[in-house]
Structure 1
Amino acid sequence: MMRPKALLALLLSTVLLATGCGAGSGASDGGPVRLLVFGAPEELAAYRTLIDAYEKKHPDARVQLVEASDRKDLLARLATSVAGGAPPDLFLMNYRFYGQFAAKNVIEPLDDRIAASEQLDPADYYPVAMDAFTWDGRQLCLPQNVSSLAVYYNRTLFQKYGVAEPKAGWTWNDMVQTATMMTRAANGAVIKGTESEGAALLPAVHGLGVEPSIIRLAPFVWSAGGEIVDDPAKPTRFTLDSPAAREALKNLVDLRLAYGVTPTDQEVEAEDDESRFANGRLAMLMTSRRATTNFRTATGFEWDVAPLPVYGKPVGVLHSDAYCMPKGAKNPDAAWRFLEFAIAEEGQRIIAATGRTVPSHVGVANSPAFLDPAQPPRNAKVFLDAIPTVRALPTVSTWPEIEDVSYGILENAMFRGDRLDDVVRQLDTETRPIFARGEHG
């Protein structure tokens, strides 16, 4: 049986043949603009709000939301449709994953359209997000958001247990201490360490949720003065064997192994961290802005966000999604008109009001559409304060595969307790060949 990664690579390898057979004529078929996305129901509702506003403003226009079940499904659908000569008119994708399509030259560059636009000025957008979607000097996609990681926290639980809320400038050790004080049994007792003294002291509330992934580890490696790869522009291997990187990695896995403040793997399988937070059983969660739409539906408690803790200096990791137009789209002009609306000031105000994005448009990001104190999080400025410090992960074409392989290794380290030396060695040996196959913009 062909593995999913091999199947995706095979589909992508046929793309150039498919796009070279007249599929890119640019003629419209008169149907709706098809936008391929994935997300939680609350995120999809945000995009429907944007589409409804666009169609109300342009009664003759139609945009169809094509929903993938998850990120892997989106990548597979896009590869299959492009190879078959029937791609969607637009797709929304994180910069970490678009490189495999950019490398195959199947994304339509937008430079000429941007230059001719009366609504878009590249100077209005955060450069770190624009740059993340530049490949070989061309602007392939236009970013809708410029998020970073933040620590969501349940203010109601903090007040209940009399623990000080996280604040700017807190350190990793501060976070560990706070998470320890917020890991509580049903009777309210603090549970310290990984061993409990009977069922009565099993955690009813965990102090922290964080996934064992490169994108969660990276900002702490950087904050400690290390690097995750040898060359951010053209990486050939991970560099997690440095003292700074090893320290950050050890501290990440010790959240579970030494301190027991994060849920076990069995608990995560039964209820993911985002659901656990929304259900009031997780005091803090390290995630990006995309969780906001879900948490705004939560009831029974008040929540807010705090910046990431630091080792040496504040450093964030970029989370940014962009609208891209594949070559061979049936309705390129109609797709551009919707993309232009979505990315320009009006569209960004609409999607920002839903809670989904930290707008890539600087003016909208600093407006009440995003900073509205009547809508949680009250401390939304945390996301804006992080923008000057955020760094992008590599956009090597094989990065999705690198993330998947490294996730499994880091998951075993956190939940199974694999030796740190073995983890670092395995990360290097299993991903170095994947780096070698990668292409760079």
Structure 2
Amino acid sequence: MRKLTAILATAILLTGCGGAETADTPPTVRLLVFGAPEELESYRTLVDEYVKVSSGARVQLVEASDREDLITRLSTSIAGGSPPDLFLMNYRFYGQFAAKNAVEPLDDRLAKSTVVKLADLYPQAVEAFRWQGRQLCLPQNVSSLVVYYNRTLFQKFGVAEPKAGWTWNDLITTATAMTRNASGTIVRGTESEGGSARVAVYGLGVEPTLIRVAPLVWSAGGQIVDDERKPTRFTFEAGPARDALRDFVALRLAYGVVPTDEEVEAENDESRFSNGRLAMLLSSRRVTTTFRTVKDFEWDVAPMPLYGKQPAGILHSDAYCITSGSKAKDAAWRFLEFAIGAEGQRILASTGRTVPSNIEVSKSPAFLDPTQPPRNAQVFLDAVPTIRRVPTISTWPEIEDATGGILENALYRGDKLDDVIRQLDEQTRPIFARGVSP
């Protein structure tokens, strides 16, 4: 009953505030987003600025609590015939809506636009939102996975800060040196399970997910799927993919440098980093808005370590998409133009939320401002040429859901690698088979 009530409330919210476009009454554009409070504030800033410079324009932010809530709201409202006009979504998740023709192609509008040109945007992000030859959404950002680190802690313990060219072994060594008990003594391996050696500061925080493992596989020259365009299965059974998965899940039980499952449940990695109890965190640009509220220590970012011989990053990109069922497509496009245009890109970049998809803006002080952390923001731009992406087939969200628990058990419980690989294959092959490719 509680879930049904929430769905009905969502439908009412999305239905009650719209309206078709007329000459006399500009419609309210409903934009569905999710994020941490600091991220949502960034979008409010963008909307406020747009309303200021656009006579009569009205934009309502519909704020979901998390990604799952956003997808549920969007699915429910589309099925009910009253979708939001715009939604912001990561490329890994929009395929399920593209496959159902629920997203409005933008090619004709782009051809006439004097504000947005695809040539001005990073192609790695643009191409992630092309579906069967059409440009469905426009990316706001071109982030990658980086290492956030607490400079104050590194200086306190006299450990060298991570730098360009460092390796996976360097990461392990550094994380071990930064895993300390309350007296400042290094805690090694399984000593971190409790007692007098209880950890006060962990060396590393990382989610046990596919998008954290994939860059390691690519760095070693491997693949995570059999065909990146039309995948049918994972390829973790041998070679670089198997090695990378093995070394990734060793972080907890072999090295003890990441928090336990119970500790993560009690305090997530972002909060632990913000509270000074985590030395390093693997994440994308989106956590920057939250970390800029930290006043107790200095932090910065470093590139991902080399697992193999070549640098490899993974795309983290969100895009604005117009729903095909929107009753205010022209008004939605005008906001989208502003958001992806140079001015909108500068506004959002200055809040810390994005690595701008606009190439020129990404190289400007709006993003590289040395007075705002991270001081080494250039790391994000240096990673762009190495960025790759996971498949965008329509069932990819289901695949990530299916693998989440398996990888959690591997990291925290120490499930046997062969069993992990078998489960990954068995649980996902049927889902791959149902997927529609872009």
Question: Matches of 1:430 and 1:173 in 2, distance apart?
Answer: 31
- State whether residues 26 and 56 of structure 2, in contact with CA within 8 Å, keep that contact through their aligned partners in structure 1: no
Q: Corresponding residue for 2:73?
A: 77
1:319 aligns to what SS in structure 2? coil
Q: Using the TM superposition, give the Cα deviation of residue 154 of structure 1 relative to its aligned residue in structure 2, in angstroms.
A: 0.1
Q: Using the TM superposition, give the Cα deviation of residue 59 of structure 1 relative to its aligned residue in structure 2, in angstroms.
A: 3.6
1:147 aligns to what SS in structure 2? coil
Question: Matches of 1:36 and 1:197 in 2, distance apart?
Answer: 42
Q: Using the TM superposition, give the Cα deviation of residue 200 of structure 1 relative to its aligned residue in structure 2, in angstroms.
A: 2.8
2:145 counterpart of 1:143: no
The one-letter code of the counterpart of 1:76 is T
Q: Corresponding residue for 2:10?
A: none
- State whether residues 37 and 92 of structure 1, in contact with CA within 8 Å, keep that contact through their aligned partners in structure 2: yes
Question: Matches of 1:360 and 1:285 in 2, distance apart?
Answer: 24
Q: Corresponding residue for 1:405?
A: 402
Q: Corresponding residue for 1:17?
A: none
1:375 to 372, 390, 394: 372
The one-letter code of the counterpart of 1:166 is P
1:278 to 248, 267, 274: 274
Mark the runs of 5 or more structure 1 residues left unpaired by the alignment.
9-22
Question: Matches of 2:193 and 2:336 in 1, distance apart?
Answer: 57
2:290 counterpart of 1:294: yes
The one-letter code of the counterpart of 2:434 is R
Task: Report Cα offsets for 1:107-131 as digits up to 9, x if no partner.
Answer: 0000010111111111000001000
The one-letter code of the counterpart of 2:411 is M
2:356 counterpart of 1:359: yes
1:152 to 148, 155, 160: 148
Q: Corresponding residue for 2:386?
A: 389
Q: Corresponding residue for 1:15?
A: none
Question: Matches of 2:46 and 2:373 in 1, distance apart?
Answer: 20
Q: Using the TM superposition, give the Cα deviation of residue 27 of structure 1 relative to its aligned residue in structure 2, in angstroms.
A: 6.6
Q: Corresponding residue for 2:339?
A: 342
Q: Corresponding residue for 1:260?
A: 256
Question: Matches of 2:20 and 2:28 in 1, distance apart?
Answer: 17
1:240 to 225, 236, 249: 236
2:317 to 305, 315, 320: 320
The RMSD of aligned alpha carbons is 1.8
- Structure 1 pair 196–212 and aligned structure 2 pair: CA distance change class (3 A): closer
Where in structure 1 do 4 or more consecutive aligned residues deviate above 6 Å?
23-29
2:177 to 178, 181, 186: 181
Question: Matches of 1:197 and 1:278 in 2, distance apart?
Answer: 23
2:63 aligns to what SS in structure 1? strand
Task: Report Cα offsets for 1:234-267 as digits up to 9, x if no partner.
Answer: 0000011122111111111111010000000000
Task: Report Cα offsets for 1:147-196 as digits up to 9, x if no partner.
Answer: 00000000000000000000000000000000000000000000011124
The one-letter code of the counterpart of 1:293 is T
- Structure 1 pair 435–380 and aligned structure 2 pair: CA distance change class (3 A): same
The one-letter code of the counterpart of 2:68 is K
- State whether residues 364 and 370 of structure 1, in contact with CA within 8 Å, keep that contact through their aligned partners in structure 2: yes
2:154 counterpart of 1:130: no
Q: Corresponding residue for 2:96?
A: 100
Q: Corresponding residue for 1:206?
A: 202
The one-letter code of the counterpart of 2:384 is I
Question: Matches of 1:196 and 1:77 in 2, distance apart?
Answer: 41
Q: Using the TM superposition, give the Cα deviation of residue 92 of structure 1 relative to its aligned residue in structure 2, in angstroms.
A: 0.1
- State whether residues 184 and 205 of structure 1, in contact with CA within 8 Å, keep that contact through their aligned partners in structure 2: yes
Question: Matches of 1:329 and 1:357 in 2, distance apart?
Answer: 26
Mark the runs of 5 or more structure 2 residues left unpaired by the alignment.
8-17
- State whether residues 24 and 328 of structure 1, in contact with CA within 8 Å, keep that contact through their aligned partners in structure 2: no
Task: Report Cα offsets for 1:355-400 as digits up to 9, x if no partner.
Answer: 0000000000000100000000000000000000000110000000
- Structure 1 pair 350–425 and aligned structure 2 pair: CA distance change class (3 A): same
Length-normalised TM-score, structure 1: 0.93
1:195 to 177, 191, 194: 191
Q: Using the TM superposition, give the Cα deviation of residue 24 of structure 1 relative to its aligned residue in structure 2, in angstroms.
A: 12
- State whether residues 144 and 348 of structure 1, in contact with CA within 8 Å, keep that contact through their aligned partners in structure 2: yes
Q: Using the TM superposition, give the Cα deviation of residue 197 of structure 1 relative to its aligned residue in structure 2, in angstroms.
A: 8.6
Question: Matches of 1:270 and 1:100 in 2, distance apart?
Answer: 32
Q: How many residues align?
A: 423
Task: Report Cα offsets for 1:196-220 as digits up to 9, x if no partner.
Answer: 4963321100000001000000000
Question: Matches of 1:71 and 1:185 in 2, distance apart?
Answer: 35
- State whether residues 26 and 328 of structure 1, in contact with CA within 8 Å, keep that contact through their aligned partners in structure 2: no
Task: Report Cα offsets for 1:213-236 as digits up to 9, x if no partner.
Answer: 000000001101110000000000
Q: Using the TM superposition, give the Cα deviation of residue 26 of structure 1 relative to its aligned residue in structure 2, in angstroms.
A: 7.3
Identity %: 70
Length-normalised TM-score, structure 2: 0.94
The one-letter code of the counterpart of 2:421 is V
- Structure 1 pair 27–428 and aligned structure 2 pair: CA distance change class (3 A): farther
Question: Matches of 1:367 and 1:166 in 2, distance apart?
Answer: 25
Task: Report Cα offsets for 1:387-434 as digits up to 9, x if no partner.
Answer: 000001100000001001111100000011100000001000100000
Question: Matches of 2:26 and 2:316 in 1, distance apart?
Answer: 34
Q: Using the TM superposition, give the Cα deviation of residue 31 of structure 1 relative to its aligned residue in structure 2, in angstroms.
A: 3.4
2:115 counterpart of 1:119: yes
- State whether residues 25 and 328 of structure 1, in contact with CA within 8 Å, keep that contact through their aligned partners in structure 2: no
Task: Report Cα offsets for 1:120-146 as digits up to 9, x if no partner.
Answer: 111000001000000011000000000
- State whether residues 185 and 191 of structure 1, in contact with CA within 8 Å, keep that contact through their aligned partners in structure 2: yes
Question: Matches of 1:25 and 1:35 in 2, distance apart?
Answer: 15
